Structure 1
Amino acid sequence: MSFSARRYPLVLWTIVPLLVSAPATAQDIAPAEALFNQGLADMDAGRYEAGCNALVESQRLDPRPGTLFTLAFCESKRGRVATAVARLDDFLALVERMPPAQRARQAERAAAAREERARLAPRVPELTLVLTPNAPAGTVVTRDGQALGQASLGVGLPVDPGEHAVSTRAPGGPAWERRIAISEGEKKQVTLEVKDPPRGREIAPPPPVSRGGGEVSSGRRAAVYVAGGVGVTGVVLGGVMGALTFGKRSVVAEHCGAGIGDSREEACDVTGFDATRSARTTGLVSTIGFGVGLVGLGAAAVLYWTEPRQDDRVIGVGRVGRAARAASRWVGAGVIAAGPGATVVGARGVW
């Protein structure tokens, strides 16, 4: 049978496409026609690989029943019997959907398609792919680069004769690949392997850290900042108030007959009296400020120097750990002495 006589009515069943398919754009029709003619030329020359590829592209650009029919016979000629049967089925299904008048014009083609399909069907091989029972959920199976759904596994599926690449990949695991050869008419079942995901290296846990110790250290550091801030503020306030107090000395000396500490305020005029009272107030605030400042700075220093070292929080329990912690605690803060009249707070240590 010659596929080069596209213009002859006697061979329309092999060649001439019908204008019953989806419309193509004008810019696609001309390339599709050229590819169809090229495909026929390659088929006549026995170059079925090139001819079928040209027909596939022609059908993509301008889908027509005649092109589909010719492509089915091209696939049969190059030995892809499963693909040829699928193309013939598509063509016959298309003819069944045509109006009666068009279907009548396709009667001879349809008869030839049924005859060719009956001849090829026993030659179509079937390949059944099965996963091992312990395959992880979500394992992906591919055949010739196409992923297969779960429903496609364990079922004999038609494939073209020859070699097929099959692979599996478990979630997070490496790919397992295998090439499977199958002949015309053969029915083969293959159980696929699945490689387990690699086990991660065991990482040693970090040294034990006491959560409470970390909170204590953080709270102690905050207390250092607060105490230091209070101490600096007290010292600054004492200095400012002290300066104001000394500034009043000249006013008191000029308007009073006695010094600031003299209780004989009746010897002062109004200006001197106000200056005396103001000086006493600023002097008292200055004294309190210096006192608070010194206490705050002292507390900050004690808290800072008695803070546990980093080694205390990361050294494990044991003879060496206990010795290291004992060596690091060379300063301690607390109540040194207490009595009815006063309580002494300070630090103890070894220098």
Structure 2
Amino acid sequence: MHTRWLVTVVSLSVAFCTISVAPEAQAQSADASLDEREKARKKAEAAADRGLEHYEAGRYDEAITAFSEAHRIYQAPTFLLEIAHAHEKLGHLREARTYYQRVVDEKLTHYAPKVFFETQAQAKTELAALLPRIPTLQVTVTGAPPGHIKLVIDGKATSSGSIALNPGEHTVSARAPRRVPLTRRVMLAEGAKEQLTLTLEPPSKAKPPTDVIAAPAPQAAPAEKPTATGSSSGRSPIPAISAFGLAGVATVVGTVTGLMSFGAVDSLPNECRDKVCYDDAGGDSYDRASTMATISTVSFWVAGVGAAAGVALVLWPSAKDEPAKAALRVSPSWIGVQGSF
């Protein structure tokens, strides 16, 4: 502790002594009186003294504050070197690199104190030893145009590529328009060279566009009204009605032709005497009576079939609601019903 304190205080005293011989230093304090110079010297020495005490006690943040105050009072590279040492102790390798580099880049005049040149040489050596310890992270972001990607590391915007970071945990986030934001945590050790690839993807479950109309939900078919026949199946009553209608028509035809047959039979006694027909007498009446009787018989048979079909359609409805197709066919040699049920 005493060695570091003596080096810093001696360098500070030498620096203030050179004010009287250095033109630049004279320009810096041209308007200051001797009393003001003495007060500034004592204030800078006091700040440097506090910085050394904090440093030796391990209070590196407080040491940085004190050395920064001393450097504000008088800009000496020795104070910057002590700030670099404190940052290095805290693991702030990037910040330490910055202060080492400031000391190395300092433009010293030929009449600057010897201790300043020694401080600069020390900073150059320590900087070379520090650089390999600084970890780097190579970040690559895909899935969106490079110009639209926003990359943030530890809350600070940055660009893709190799990035020097302090050892420890870091939070890396990437985002882009119409892409799902992505965040990763990375642990870096001293001297590590890590790579991280972030692939931005579109939302996995995108909302449907507002101009798309959703198809209406299927609705249950309305219940059919019960038919007049009382069928529980709800099928159309047309087939049964057609069958019953055919039966009615056939009944009418059978009745009419039956009456016509009876009329023809009643005319036979007038054409034949003593129930004996001579030559062609009574032939037409007989043929007409026979034909009408046949038609009447068949018509009544068709009426029975139609009625039976109607009853069957009411009691045992088929799976298909097809209307019955039926028609009465009458010819001189044939009479019957033709169709499908």
TM-score class, shorter: 0.3 to 0.5
Bigger Rg, which one: 2
TM-score, length basis structure 2: 0.46
